[in-house]
Structure 1
Amino acid sequence: MRTKIDYGIDLGTTNSAIARIENGKPVIKKSDTLKDTIPSCVSVNKKKNVLSGDAAFNALKLDKTRALKTLKSEDHNAYIEFKRTMGTDIKYPSSNMAKDFSSEELSAEILMKLKSFITDEAVKSIVITVPAKFTMVQKDATVKAGKLAGFEHIELLQEPIAASMAYGLDAENKDGIWLVYDFGGGTFDAALIKVEEGIMKVVDTEGDNWLGGKNLDEAILDQIILPYIESNFSFKNTLSVTNQKEVLRNSVKYFAEECKIQMSFMDKHNILTDLGDLPIEDEEGEELTLDIDVTQDSLEVAVAPIFQKSIDICKDLLKRNNLKGSQLTTVLLVGGPTYSPILRKMLKEQITDKINTSIDPMTSVAYGAALFASTISVSEEVMEQSRDTTKLQLEIKHEATTVEEEEMVNIKILKEKTEGTVPDKVFADVVRGDKAWSSGKKQISEKATLVDVQLNSGASNTFEIILYDEQGNKLECQPNSFNILQGINPGQATLPYHIALEITDRIQEKDLLTAIKGLEKNQTLPATGVTYGLKTQKDIRPGMVNDEIIIPIYQGGYDAEGTTAIHSTHINDVKVNGEDLPSLLPAGSDVEITLKVDRSEQMTVSIFFPYLSHTEQQTVEIIQGKSVSKEWLEKEINKARKTAKRLQGENNSKEVEKIIGNINEISEKLDNKGGGDSGKLEVQDNLLKELRALDKLDSETEWPKVEKELKENFYELEGLLNKVKSNGDEGDLKMEAIDAHMQEFRVKIEQIIKDKSVIHAKELIEEIDSLDFNIRDVLAGPQMDISMINNINSNFSNINWKDNSKARTLLNQAIQSINNGNVSNLRPILIQILEVMDRDDAEKLTGKLTR
């Protein structure tokens, strides 16, 4: 019985692998074709048999080639690159099976195929790796795929961390800063990892879920193979029809992939086909054949721009962490494309020459995943299923990883879980796997016995437990072994994105993404975040299901803070309605939100209402992403162009020009490859990135006006206070507290101007104006509030109201209070009236912004 998971799977976009711990070492388990990896490909034949791996990939190639005969996409029955649509509602139809497959179902087939390579035991627990930039939605989909594949306990691990563990175990230098450069088949990840005496900490991550080996294949296809076909054959009409061109591209894509692989190890490659390999004739009746000589120079022209995108991501990652390439201890290469000499030359020229090639880029992630799995205990549920209670049951506790050379292990007998009689005296001998060390016999019991074990450096140490009774007879026990990983400690997982709320910013009148304090990007997991200062916008009546508070939760990167929330990944909405509350919750009531995220990024939320002294707790369910149409994308691209052109008129900066160029590229990509689901998702993600950049620039163009308003309002308030002091009119004003506020304002203004923060400037303007309003109110007495309410009542029909009915109800309350002579409660009502008034109208009436 394994007490640790011990199994790791690299579930890749194009290739996948499985590894397990054997005698303390990770071992890649060979496929049914005796390979280290299998293609992440699934097909269904006419007998409704589901094929995975090499057999499915061969079927895929045949399907693509057969389609050339008619230049029409045949019925779909073979699938690849479905990892790119994980977490969405996109389906893959199968005519042979007469059903649609989800990405999770297809991924489950790959996982089951990998699991089938293990024939000597049942595998119920697994570590599955995911790209560092996978969102919670994509990770949740990966877990669902694992469940469909029959795994009962699933742990996720970021691919760069897995690769760094594979390298770090044998690394001579276990200190410094490592850059993991992970260029996979469909995704790119870069991770900065700080290592001190073998203890690893993820500093920061960045990446692109739409950048990988697939993009290299397409570049070779579009810049080498298709130009050859256009120059040597007559396919003008075919290439002018989008669907027919796509069929032709798909049929020869295999040759682009083969060229990419061969050119990773050779100076030149000949793309060559025989007559009959490509069953299509051009418009002049000549059969299509390929005979293309590819050199490193011609290949570089095609693929260097793709690699450059990944290197630019690394440069940005280093820059935001105030690092230079020269400060890196090593760059770890992960993924098949990193064999490319073109890439390695570019990395050496632009990042550092400290390129590490000691680990196998193709299997290092699976290898590291197994190492990580050796440190994670099997869940109690799985453990109970595999117990053989006829054997003496033990509990073994120890650190799974350590940088020390000795470790303490606690062993005790679980008598209540053991059938039959347990001898009065039981002795244990703990023997290291290499037989070079043993503890000697030590008596153990139902109370924990401490055993000090000696470890081999830089290795996963396996220890066998041999039990004896008082007469020296061996006793069977379970578990009878354990592992301790010496020399590297992966530390805790970190958040790859901000966990954030969509909060209506009353100042900007926008729904903005606001990171929850404590759940910012790179926080160590598990983590807890708390948000204060939120208020309800309407009354929530008890028992009323239609009265509800909606709390939208999002994920967003560094570029997402303060941008429009819908431009980031929506996790779900947490809802609380009147049925959840014991009594009336008035509009304007405080709300405090506490969000807890565990190691697997599962979330629970607590919503506290101080007015009611009531807390609501919920588990946050992760919702599936929705597919989008090409028409919707075209519409959004046009809207983005208009925004960019407006900003260009206001601020003709290089940033705006760059965004306009990126939007044009996105539009071109939509025209060229936006017909497929994966292509549309890629376009959507890239477009959202540019929309976030436009949000940032839009705020920056406001800065000069906001800065002027901030200074003017502060100076006006300062002038008012100087006048009050010179005239000796302090009266009921608490001048000591006001002076403290003014000093705080000065400090904030200095920092805000330095940061050019529009949001914080507007927030401070609100605070300044609120203090100004309160000072004038104290000086004027209640007559000021009475005058303002009468003024609002006289001009009611000329004011732009957000909620006309609510405004009239509040105004009637205020007028009734005035008529009754009860003017002490006018101020709270007046503030509520101003809250439902258009911002400009409020400023005209009060002379100040009061919200």
Structure 2
Amino acid sequence: MRDTIDFGIDLGTTNSALAVAGDDDVRILKNNDDQSDITPSAVWLPKADTVWVGRRARHRAETDPENVAIEFKLEMGLADASRTFGKAGVTLSAPQLSAEVLKTLRADAARYAGAAPDSVVITVPAAFALNQNKATLEAARLAGFTGSVPLLQEPTAAAFAYGFDDADERAYWMVFDFGGGTFDAAVVSKRDGDLRVLNHAGDPYLGGKLIDWAVVERLLAPAAARDLGLKDFRRDNPIWRGNFGRLKQAAEQAKIQLSGRDRTDLLLELVVDGSEETFEFTLTKDALDAVAMPYWARAVNLCREALVESGLGASKIDRLLMVGGATLAPGLRELLSDPAHGLQIELDTRIDPTTVVARGAAIFAGTMRRPASESVVRAVGEYGVELAYEPSSTTTRPTVAGRLSGPSGEVDWSGHSVVIANPEGRPPFRTGRVTVNRVGAFATEVELDEHRTSRFTTELYDGNGAPLPLAGGSFGITHREVEFGGARLTHSLGIALADHKFSPLVRKGTAVPTRVREIFRTSHAFNRSDPSAMVRIPVVQGERARADRNRQVGMLQIRPVDIRIDLPAGTEVEVTFEVDESNLVTVVADVPLIQAQFEAEIDLDDVLTPDADVLADELAEVERRIAEAQRTAATSPEVEQRLARLQEEGTLATAREQVRAASADAGAAVTAEERLREVQAQLDDIDEAAQRPAKERELREVLAEAEELVERVGRPTDRAELADLRTRAQDAIDRKDIRSIERETEQVVSFLIGLERRQPGFVIRLFNQLALDTSSMRPAAEARRLIAAGRSAAARGDEAGLMVICQQLVRLLPQSEQNTVVGLVRS
């Protein structure tokens, strides 16, 4: 009976792998299909009640594409995404397809262990969202894993695989995980036996699949259309679906072949008018590298971002850990080693990049105790024991505690004792008699053999030293040189507010598990007679200030099903977010008014595939914004630099290709959405960069006015406040943070207004300046009415009433003009 989970699965976009932790090592389990270390994540249903998974299914993607599903990991978490298998007459969702892969791997584990495991560690990309993680757990449940299924981030798993040796080594590493469908970068610290992930960056839709499709779209498809005279030869044209499937397979195989040569000849049959035509194409390494370079460049830039966020330069990183089959590409390794364009970090390729994540998952699984299942079956007269210990330890003398239970009823434990022994130890180990306290509890240290698993048994003795029958009591503890420093949140998690701003509740990098509380107020009344009453708050993940530039991953729904009274609008609801080690979220809501607590629900089941027409409209909007930005680039080096990065990473070209394919491929649709969201966010930054010089000038101008006015009429307290404002303003300018610059401008303007209000005639001067030009005030009729009322108040000498009118007039001005009011007063 295993004490720990031990089995780890890398559930990949292109390939999956299974590993198991033993007493002294970790091994990759070969599959039952072709005795390979990896199993292609492919499912083929040639007829009803027949399912093939793995290499055989992958090969059928060329000859029977209508009945084969591949690369469905990218559709995880989409409620409406599915694949239909015509011959079998069934439709399967991405979690159901992933479950078929997991079933195969679980059967391989059963062949090794003699019984199918009910618990397993499954890896997920660090960039996965909540709904994608939930879909992964659903796939595990469908596959028969009914026990504990911890989710482990892929770069963390890779760090485990590389890091559980050389405990004395003190180093910083960077994980470079370029897989079939996703990219993750992680900065890892290894210090005194503690392995800790410091920071993540990644893209859940950047991987080898995009490079394959780019080769098809930019090289193979145009050549095939030209050579064979194919009309409307597009990926989204359903009549050519089979041919594009064959081209995709050919591109993938050619990419693998070019890992060891400079050119490869493609020869494949394409179906034209019902008959097969031969298509030939020579693909060179240089041509492949040219297509792949933008995707590699994006990965490199994400690594640089992770380093900046960690406060580390590349010179501080000792090794770059290569993970994922795509990292076998010579061109990528050449780029990473390039002193000008790469990361300038030594590449570490000691472990097979296609299986390293599975190895790390198994190592982690070996540190996780199996959940307590049914109690050990006891024979009549047998005693029982419940043990508490860590299954993995970095010390050779860990503590083990336990509590005994009698055969039936209460037991007088006076004089009882236990002995814990490891007869197979090196040397054999045996405690002395450990006294049991009055409630049957005990604790003692045990000795471990270094670098292996020590197996112990527990013996029970009565007050006279006679042995008593004890059920259970056997356990194992593995000595390891390194321990995991804990998981961290890879995305900020929060809600979208009514003004479209993002309100983060838990920040990226927070150690998990964690718990946070926030107070919300209901926007409308809750009536018990209205069963549909509900608070709905979008839950989003990301780092952008605008909520719609982040990913919506669910809907927080608070249903007042247990309220005893009607609740008025504005009622306080205290919401507690809990994030576990797998980055999964649960929510509890308290209503203090009625002292009631009820479960709130994050609905992760309404995240849908983006609509192709909506994506096309957004692409047009993005292209319009880029054209505008290009017109300002000549006058702004920063704008020019940011546009150059968009070009370098090929973000817009990828977006165009994925938008074109969106109607035929749900994976392409979500990739397009992610790319467009990223471009929009970068264009927001470009807009801010273009506006910032003017904003900085405005801040400096109002500061100069404030300094001049303080010099004339200021008090000592005014001078101190101005010095503080000057320091904060310079900090905002140095940080190039336009939001802070605008905030500081408002603070200086408020300070100026306060000074001006102390000067005689301020209200009259303010009104006269506002009355000079009302052309930008809206609505114009209201401005005219206020001007007339102001003249009457001035004639009466009513300065208080005139100030109220001035405030109303200022609010009619555009926001960009409101901050200049003080300047107008003093000019």
> Once the 2 structures are TM-superposed, how far is the Cα of residue 332 of structure 1 from its aligned partner?
1.6
Alpha-carbon distance change, 482 to 57 in structure 1, aligned in 2, over 3 angstroms:
same
> Once the 2 structures are TM-superposed, how far is the Cα of residue 334 of structure 1 from its aligned partner?
1.6
Q: In the alignment, does 2:109 pair up with 1:115? A: no
Alpha-carbon distance change, 462 to 249 in structure 1, aligned in 2, over 3 angstroms:
farther
Instruction: Answer whether contact 2:811 2:818 (CA < 8 A) is retained.
Output: no
Secondary structure (helix, strand or coil) at the match of 1:511 reads coil
Instruction: Answer whether contact 1:190 1:207 (CA < 8 A) is retained.
Output: yes
Equivalent residue letter for 1:12: G
Tell me, in whole angstroms, the C-alpha distance in 1 between the residues paired with 2:677 and 2:63. Answer: 37
The residue aligned with 1:415 is 405
Tell me, in whole angstroms, the C-alpha distance in 1 between the residues paired with 2:131 and 2:810. Answer: 36
The residue aligned with 2:422 is 431
> Once the 2 structures are TM-superposed, how far is the Cα of residue 494 of structure 1 from its aligned partner?
0.8
Instruction: Answer whether contact 2:269 2:276 (CA < 8 A) is retained.
Output: no
Q: In the alignment, does 2:243 pair up with 1:248? A: yes
Tell me, in whole angstroms, the C-alpha distance in 2 between the residues paired with 1:512 and 1:707. Answer: 24
Calculate percent identity across the aligned residue pairs. 24
Tell me, in whole angstroms, the C-alpha distance in 2 between the residues paired with 1:17 and 1:339. Answer: 17
> Once the 2 structures are TM-superposed, how far is the Cα of residue 128 of structure 1 from its aligned partner?
1.0
Tell me, in whole angstroms, the C-alpha distance in 1 between the residues paired with 2:411 and 2:802. Answer: 79
Tell me, in whole angstroms, the C-alpha distance in 2 between the residues paired with 1:456 and 1:827. Answer: 86
Instruction: Answer whether contact 2:616 2:659 (CA < 8 A) is retained.
Output: no
Alpha-carbon distance change, 425 to 319 in structure 1, aligned in 2, over 3 angstroms:
closer
Q: What is the TM-score normalised by the length of structure 1?
A: 0.78
Instruction: Answer whether contact 1:641 1:660 (CA < 8 A) is retained.
Output: no
Secondary structure (helix, strand or coil) at the match of 1:125 reads coil
Alpha-carbon distance change, 351 to 702 in structure 1, aligned in 2, over 3 angstroms:
closer
Q: In the alignment, does 2:480 pair up with 1:486? A: yes
The residue aligned with 1:86 is 76
> Once the 2 structures are TM-superposed, how far is the Cα of residue 436 of structure 1 from its aligned partner?
3.6
The residue aligned with 1:637 is 619
Equivalent residue letter for 1:207: G
Equivalent residue letter for 2:109: I
Equivalent residue letter for 1:412: G
Of residues 635, 647, 650, the one that matches 2:629 is 647
CA displacement, residues 31-63 of structure 1 (integer Å, 9 cap, x when unaligned): 222322211122223233333333433443430
The residue aligned with 1:808 is none
Secondary structure (helix, strand or coil) at the match of 2:149 reads strand
Alpha-carbon distance change, 686 to 113 in structure 1, aligned in 2, over 3 angstroms:
same
Q: Which structure 2 segments of 5+ residues have no match? A: 787-792
Equivalent residue letter for 1:601: N
Instruction: Answer whether contact 1:20 1:370 (CA < 8 A) is retained.
Output: yes
Tell me, in whole angstroms, the C-alpha distance in 2 between the residues paired with 1:208 and 1:489. Answer: 27
> Once the 2 structures are TM-superposed, how far is the Cα of residue 161 of structure 1 from its aligned partner?
0.9
Tell me, in whole angstroms, the C-alpha distance in 1 between the residues paired with 2:626 and 2:377. Answer: 67
Secondary structure (helix, strand or coil) at the match of 2:172 reads strand
> Once the 2 structures are TM-superposed, how far is the Cα of residue 485 of structure 1 from its aligned partner?
4.3
CA displacement, residues 740-799 of structure 1 (integer Å, 9 cap, x when unaligned): 654442332121122232212333344445556667778999x989x99xx99xx9xx96
Tell me, in whole angstroms, the C-alpha distance in 2 between the residues paired with 1:827 and 1:61. Answer: 80
Tell me, in whole angstroms, the C-alpha distance in 1 between the residues paired with 2:503 and 2:688. Answer: 15
1:684-695 equivalence runs, <5 A: 684-695=673-684
Tell me, in whole angstroms, the C-alpha distance in 2 between the residues paired with 1:767 and 1:528. Answer: 35
Q: In the alignment, does 2:610 pair up with 1:621? A: no
Alpha-carbon distance change, 640 to 486 in structure 1, aligned in 2, over 3 angstroms:
same
> Once the 2 structures are TM-superposed, how far is the Cα of residue 648 of structure 1 from its aligned partner?
3.5
Q: In the alignment, does 2:346 pair up with 1:360? A: no
Of residues 461, 481, 486, the one that matches 2:453 is 461
Q: In the alignment, does 2:94 pair up with 1:103? A: yes
Secondary structure (helix, strand or coil) at the match of 1:93 reads strand
> Once the 2 structures are TM-superposed, how far is the Cα of residue 204 of structure 1 from its aligned partner?
1.5
Instruction: Answer whether contact 1:183 1:212 (CA < 8 A) is retained.
Output: yes
What is the CA RMSD across the aligned residues, in angstroms? 4.8
The residue aligned with 1:69 is none
Secondary structure (helix, strand or coil) at the match of 2:278 reads coil
Q: In the alignment, does 2:150 pair up with 1:155? A: yes
Alpha-carbon distance change, 582 to 375 in structure 1, aligned in 2, over 3 angstroms:
farther
CA displacement, residues 474-502 of structure 1 (integer Å, 9 cap, x when unaligned): 95642512223411112111111122343
Alpha-carbon distance change, 826 to 496 in structure 1, aligned in 2, over 3 angstroms:
farther
Tell me, in whole angstroms, the C-alpha distance in 2 between the residues paired with 1:85 and 1:214. Answer: 13
Tell me, in whole angstroms, the C-alpha distance in 2 between the residues paired with 1:627 and 1:422. Answer: 64
Tell me, in whole angstroms, the C-alpha distance in 2 between the residues paired with 1:223 and 1:460. Answer: 53
Alpha-carbon distance change, 462 to 257 in structure 1, aligned in 2, over 3 angstroms:
farther
Secondary structure (helix, strand or coil) at the match of 2:109 reads coil
Q: In the alignment, does 2:653 pair up with 1:665? A: yes
The residue aligned with 2:39 is 38
When structure 1 is superposed on structure 2, of 293-302 and 7-16 the one drifting more is 293-302
The residue aligned with 2:55 is 54
Alpha-carbon distance change, 279 to 476 in structure 1, aligned in 2, over 3 angstroms:
farther
When structure 1 is superposed on structure 2, of 421-430 and 354-363 the one drifting more is 421-430
Equivalent residue letter for 1:451: T
Alpha-carbon distance change, 123 to 636 in structure 1, aligned in 2, over 3 angstroms:
same
Alpha-carbon distance change, 367 to 601 in structure 1, aligned in 2, over 3 angstroms:
same
Equivalent residue letter for 1:86: M
Secondary structure (helix, strand or coil) at the match of 2:108 reads coil
1:109-258 equivalence runs, <5 A: 109-119=100-110, 120-150=114-144, 151-171=146-166, 174-219=169-214, 221=216, 233-237=227-231, 239=233, 242-258=237-253
CA displacement, residues 449-489 of structure 1 (integer Å, 9 cap, x when unaligned): 333334444x3523232536577869564251222341111
Tell me, in whole angstroms, the C-alpha distance in 2 between the residues paired with 1:280 and 1:185. Answer: 27
Secondary structure (helix, strand or coil) at the match of 2:122 reads strand
Secondary structure (helix, strand or coil) at the match of 1:60 reads helix
The residue aligned with 1:346 is 335
Secondary structure (helix, strand or coil) at the match of 1:113 reads helix
Secondary structure (helix, strand or coil) at the match of 1:154 reads coil
Secondary structure (helix, strand or coil) at the match of 2:626 reads helix
The residue aligned with 1:70 is none
Tell me, in whole angstroms, the C-alpha distance in 2 between the residues paired with 1:109 and 1:577. Answer: 36
Q: In the alignment, does 2:737 pair up with 1:757? A: yes
CA displacement, residues 368-390 of structure 1 (integer Å, 9 cap, x when unaligned): 112112222333xxx13363344
Q: Which structure 1 segments of 5+ residues have no match? A: 65-75, 505-509, 727-734, 805-810, 812-817
Tell me, in whole angstroms, the C-alpha distance in 1 between the residues paired with 2:13 and 2:25. Answer: 26
CA displacement, residues 412-447 of structure 1 (integer Å, 9 cap, x when unaligned): 243169899999845433327665442345446464
Tell me, in whole angstroms, the C-alpha distance in 2 between the residues paired with 1:751 and 1:477. Answer: 68
Equivalent residue letter for 2:359: Y
Instruction: Answer whether contact 1:168 1:174 (CA < 8 A) is retained.
Output: no
Tell me, in whole angstroms, the C-alpha distance in 2 between the residues paired with 1:227 and 1:839. Answer: 52
Equivalent residue letter for 2:602: E
Alpha-carbon distance change, 201 to 591 in structure 1, aligned in 2, over 3 angstroms:
same
> Once the 2 structures are TM-superposed, how far is the Cα of residue 114 of structure 1 from its aligned partner?
1.5
The residue aligned with 1:745 is 725
Secondary structure (helix, strand or coil) at the match of 2:44 reads strand
Q: What is the TM-score normalised by the length of structure 2?
A: 0.80
Tell me, in whole angstroms, the C-alpha distance in 2 between the residues paired with 1:118 and 1:577. Answer: 43
Secondary structure (helix, strand or coil) at the match of 2:228 reads coil
Instruction: Answer whether contact 1:431 1:437 (CA < 8 A) is retained.
Output: yes
Instruction: Answer whether contact 2:558 2:601 (CA < 8 A) is retained.
Output: no
Secondary structure (helix, strand or coil) at the match of 1:697 reads helix
CA displacement, residues 251-279 of structure 1 (integer Å, 9 cap, x when unaligned): 24333333333444x44686576xxx847
Alpha-carbon distance change, 53 to 481 in structure 1, aligned in 2, over 3 angstroms:
same
Tell me, in whole angstroms, the C-alpha distance in 1 between the residues paired with 2:367 and 2:674. Answer: 35
Tell me, in whole angstroms, the C-alpha distance in 2 between the residues paired with 1:251 and 1:144. Answer: 31
Instruction: Answer whether contact 2:403 2:442 (CA < 8 A) is retained.
Output: no
Tell me, in whole angstroms, the C-alpha distance in 2 between the residues paired with 1:49 and 1:198. Answer: 49
Alpha-carbon distance change, 481 to 234 in structure 1, aligned in 2, over 3 angstroms:
same
> Once the 2 structures are TM-superposed, how far is the Cα of residue 566 of structure 1 from its aligned partner?
0.8
Alpha-carbon distance change, 209 to 335 in structure 1, aligned in 2, over 3 angstroms:
same
Instruction: Answer whether contact 2:8 2:362 (CA < 8 A) is retained.
Output: yes
The residue aligned with 2:790 is none
